[in-house]
Amino acid sequence: MTAPAINAERLQQRLEAFARIGATPAGGVNRQALSAEDRAARRLLTELAQARGFSVFQDPIANLFIRRGGHDDSRPPLLIGSHLDSQPTGGRYDGALGTLAAFEALEALQDAGLTSEAPIEVVAWTNEEGSRFAPGVMGSMAFAGAADPATWQSLTGSDGASFAHELAATLAALPEAAPRSLGMPVSGYIELHIEQGPSLEKEGLAVGVVTGVQGTRWLKVTISGEAGHAGTTPLPYRRDPMVAAVGILHQLQASVMPSDADARLTVGRIATIPGSVNAIPKAVSFSLDIRHPSASRLAAIEAEVRAICRDQCERQGCSAEIATAFDMPPGTFAPAMIDIIETAADRLFLSSKKMVSGAFHDALFLSKVAPTAMIFVPCRDGISHNEAEYVEPASVRDGARLLLEATIVAAKELP
């Protein structure tokens, strides 16, 4: 028996093989959930598993599981994995890296003749992206019991396809996968993923130990004032919603992020009504994307938004309407699993930092039902959801090594 080791070249070739499924001319991937391309990727992974003698299962929402038994098969399995679906103009690493590195970990264990304590299962969750069928993170949400898949049966995709039809076709395309019911006890979950942001690269760190997922709240703010002629309305007679909006945003931009390094505030959309160059607008509306790892801070930021809107609108003789368009509470990962990953990174001499994920991941829902944590690796310029997404081979290797190391420990230590 030798020490198990990642075969970095094999993993790189696998990433390339999967990148050819749904490859776009610009070098990215279009492999949206439950599409023919998604099915082809599931088939390839299943064939690789069967060649290794691993068992393959799928549940009613088409989450795909590849199981390698442990010394004690009565223990709930440790899950490792991510997703195989992509954005319509997505990259080669988002999801695929975590799924294929997990499969590489299983192979590395087998190559070394090592049997883990608990069984280990590689999982590819269904429809993480949500670009073809909304919402995203469907597979993990259903697995964790946070949503009933029955409510999605009547969905229509962005391409007009029926969700029910595409789900059934995807399940039927893998008859060799044994059916399994939805949800089961698991001893833990580890997900390797690209950061999808610039921090690790900018700080020159090999990996991130992810301690949770930020909460996200989307507000739509509409400021109403009084329309007027740009030339004929002097300042004292203006009730200009654009002045109120700028005052609000200026105050928020000077306060929320500068005073709290964990907070995020983004204005992605803004528009005026009627939108004439020479008219004081009647109304201005803008979006606020607010994120924070702490639910109470998120609530405090929303309260600050509301107070600033009230104050600035009062000054300008305007009124504000604030609607919540989306609200995802923060997720906190398990200290035990975070510790396993951090210790493993130190043992492998991988430079790391603890960090909170700014994006959603399947791990968010798994954390509700099992000790969960994530590993991030840097991606070039922080670019993701983009055909230009790129991860250095050294980062692919580092991430996979850390995943393997943490997997061995977690499969042994976790009950």
Residue 317's SS3 state is coil
Q: How many other CB atoms are there within 10 angstroms of residue 371's CB atom?
A: 22
Toward a second copy, which CB reaches closer, 138 or 379? 379
Count of positions on this chain that bind a second copy (CB under 8 A): 56
Toward a second copy, which CB reaches closer, 95 or 247? 247
Helices 393-413 and 96-111 pack at an angle, to 10 degrees, of 60
Q: Which residues, 124 to 143, sit near a second copy by CB under 8 A?
A: none
Asked if residue 211 binds a second copy (CB under 8 A), the reply is no
Q: In this chain, which of 257, 300, 336, 369 binds a second copy, going by CB under 8 A?
A: 257
Toward a second copy, which CB reaches closer, 116 or 211? 211
Q: Which residues, 89 to 118, sit near a second copy by CB under 8 A?
A: none
CA 193 to centroid of chain Cα atoms: 8
User: What's the CA gap between 106 and 88, in Å, rounded?
Assistant: 29
Pull the structure tokens for residue 358.
């700014």
Q: In this chain, which of 253, 296, 324, 351 binds a second copy, going by CB under 8 A?
A: 253
Helices and strands (H, E) in the chain, number of each type: 11, 17
Asked if residue 229 binds a second copy (CB under 8 A), the reply is yes
Q: Could you tell me which residues are beta bridge partners of residue 219?
A: 288, 324
User: What's the CA gap between 373 and 403, in Å, rounded?
Assistant: 11
Toward a second copy, which CB reaches closer, 32 or 46? 32
Toward a second copy, which CB reaches closer, 91 or 371? 91
Asked if residue 393 binds a second copy (CB under 8 A), the reply is no
Nearest CA-CA partner of 79 in 398, 379, 365: 365
Interstrand relation of 215-224 and 352-357 (parallel, antiparallel or unpaired): unpaired
Toward a second copy, which CB reaches closer, 233 or 332? 233
Q: Which residues, 38 to 57, sit near a second copy by CB under 8 A?
A: none
Angle, CA 119 vertex, CA 109 and CA 397 arms, to 5°: 35
User: What's the CA gap between 203 and 183, in Å, rounded?
Assistant: 39
User: What's the CA gap between 117 and 90, in Å, rounded?
Assistant: 37
Asked if residue 388 binds a second copy (CB under 8 A), the reply is no
Asked if residue 30 binds a second copy (CB under 8 A), the reply is no
Asked if residue 246 binds a second copy (CB under 8 A), the reply is yes
Amino acid at residue number 124? A
User: What's the CA gap between 16 and 12, in Å, rounded?
Assistant: 6
Q: In this chain, which of 271, 299, 307, 323 binds a second copy, going by CB under 8 A?
A: 271
Asked if residue 235 binds a second copy (CB under 8 A), the reply is yes
Q: Could you tell me which residues are beta bridge partners of residue 331?
A: 213
Asked if residue 202 binds a second copy (CB under 8 A), the reply is yes
Asked if residue 390 binds a second copy (CB under 8 A), the reply is no
Asked if residue 278 binds a second copy (CB under 8 A), the reply is yes
Q: How many other CB atoms are there within 10 angstroms of residue 202's CB atom?
A: 11
Q: Choose the binding region for a second copy from 58-66, 134-142, 179-187, 378-386 (rule: CB under 8 A).
A: 378-386
Which position has the token pair 């030798």? Answer: 2
Which position has the token pair 């698991």? Answer: 186
Asked if residue 307 binds a second copy (CB under 8 A), the reply is no
Toward a second copy, which CB reaches closer, 153 or 266? 266
237 exposure class (CB count in 10 Å sphere: 0-12, 13-18, 19+): exposed
Toward a second copy, which CB reaches closer, 112 or 257? 257
Q: In this chain, which of 168, 348, 359, 369 binds a second copy, going by CB under 8 A?
A: 359
Q: Choose the binding region for a second copy from 11-19, 69-77, 176-184, 266-274 (rule: CB under 8 A).
A: 266-274
Asked if residue 35 binds a second copy (CB under 8 A), the reply is no
Q: Which residues bind a second copy (CB under 8 A)?
A: 195-199, 202, 214, 216, 218, 228-235, 237, 240, 242-243, 246-247, 249-250, 253, 257-258, 261, 264, 266-272, 275-281, 284, 287, 289, 291, 325-326, 357-359, 382, 384-385
